[in-house]
């Protein structure tokens, strides 16, 4: 995530883990071994069609954060990557 330091966003800790904010809004963060990001409802629906491991982000069980999705798998083992054109399989 060091590459994000050069972008027009702010780095802070959230839940004790790295998080990135744009205009004061968190859009990408790590929590434990999960990567989570903020998505629109349309993007969430599209992603969930093909990726059953994607679920609502819950920093505590039963406490989902609206618009934030996380992978139930460790991001380092996934072949899906976030690119400027959206999610891609590599």
- Quick: pLDDT tens for 8-58: 788 889 888 888 898 888 898 888 888 888 989 898 888 888 887 788 888
**What SS3 class is residue 32?**
coil
Alpha carbons 75 and 30: distance in angstroms, whole number: 10
Which pLDDT score, from 0 to 100, does residue 2 have? 58
| Distance (Å, whole) CA 16 – CA 31 | 8
- Domain ranges, ordered by start, for the chain: 2-89
Residue 38 sits at the vertex; the CA angle it makes with 87 and 75, to the nearest 5 degrees, is 50
pLDDT band at 87 (very low <50, low <70, confident <90, very high): very low
Return the closest-CA partner of residue 83 out of 22, 37, 32: 37
């Amino acid at each position: 995530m060091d590459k994000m330091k050069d972008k027009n966003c702010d780095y802070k800790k959230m839940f004790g883990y790295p998080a990135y904010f744009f205009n004061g809004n968190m859009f990408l963060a790590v929590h434990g071994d999960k990567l989570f990001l903020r998505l629109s409802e349309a993007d969430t629906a599209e992603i969930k069609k093909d990726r059953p491991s994607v679920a609502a982000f819950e920093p505590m069980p039963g406490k989902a954060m609206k618009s934030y999705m996380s992978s139930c798998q460790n991001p380092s083992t996934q072949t899906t990557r976030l690119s400027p054109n959206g999610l891609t399989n590599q």
